[in-house]
Amino acid sequence: MPLPEAGSATPVVDSHCHLDFPDFDGERDALIERARAAGVTRMVTICTRLRSEPAVRAIAETHPGVFYAAGTHPMSVAEEPMATVEELVALTAHPKFVGIGETGLDYHYTAESAAAQQDSLRIHIEAARQTRLPLIIHARDADEDMARILTEEHRAGAYSCVMHCFSSGAALAQAALDLGFYLSMSGIAAFPRSTELRDIFKAAPLDRILIETDAPYLAPPPHRGRRNEPAFVTRTASVGAELYGLDYKDFAARTSANFDRLFWKARA
């Protein structure tokens, strides 16, 4: 399915990127303009260590259409002070602060801190519950514990959530959908060997799908192996449109409406 030309003004949202990362130093303004030229009207830049929150906040304050979220990434839990519910809730007073996280579980590289990751995850869930802002989840090689904790916590009190850059198994996808959560499609879904992942997305309700870049990571083809950036979310949206049998404009509109529903503080 052909992509729209740059500047076509088909609005689309990058629900998860990392604009503060040093990969973008010296050209942050330019890449945001490239994204806008591609039709990316809104971006959520994610703070992964709370000590970086002022810098991430400044990016959101500087650029219209850029919002932000903050939390402690599971791979950083062992190196960072444990966040508190009160600390996270206080951050949400900012008008451009739209989500809690990213948080979650990563047993691929940092399984030795699994217990601390689980504690951190529950703290972030409570902050999301109290503020009604969406939880942003990173999950890797921890499907069973992730499904268990998300379900236990939801029974204790409802909250909203997106499974960012979803690339886990069908069982975790179904557990998340059963809780009313959202799955976010990244460039991984466009990789040639991601057939099983595309099948998971295709089986999910369209009204639970978001799209993202996770820039500077996971650039979709034909940019794979290079630095990712928000403009490339159009490539992932094109794959999503094909999966659902929609034209690009309709898929972009539907996923943008999903974003508005979940990230209500960033609503267009």
**Residue whose C-alpha is closest to residue 69's, from 36, 93, 98:** 98
For all residues of the chain together, what is the average pLDDT? 95
Q: What is the mean pLDDT of residues 40-44?
A: 97
Helices 114-131 and 143-156 meet at what angle, rounded to 10? 30
**What DSSP state is assigned to residue 82?**
P
Model confidence over 201-212: pLDDT tens digits?
999 999 999 999
Can you give the pLDDT at residue 234? Answer: 96
69: which strand partners?
46, 99
List the domains of the chain with CATH numbers.
12-266 (3.20.20.140)
**Residue whose C-alpha is closest to residue 28's, from 71, 54, 66:** 66
Of the candidate ranges 4-13, 120-129, 173-182, 202-211, the one whose mean pLDDT is the lowest: 4-13
Model confidence over 82-91: pLDDT tens digits?
999 999 999 9
Can you give the pLDDT at residue 130? Answer: 98
User: How sure is the predictor about 225, in pLDDT bands with cuts at 50, 70 and 90?
Assistant: confident
Q: Above pLDDT 90, what percent of the chain?
A: 95
Q: How far apart are CA 165 and CA 173, in angstroms?
A: 12
Q: What is the mean pLDDT of residues 149-162?
A: 98
Longest dimension (CA), the chain: 48
Q: How far apart are CA 28 and CA 124, in angstroms?
A: 29
Can you give the pLDDT at residue 9? Answer: 56
Model confidence over 103-132: pLDDT tens digits?
999 999 999 999 999 999 999 999 999 999
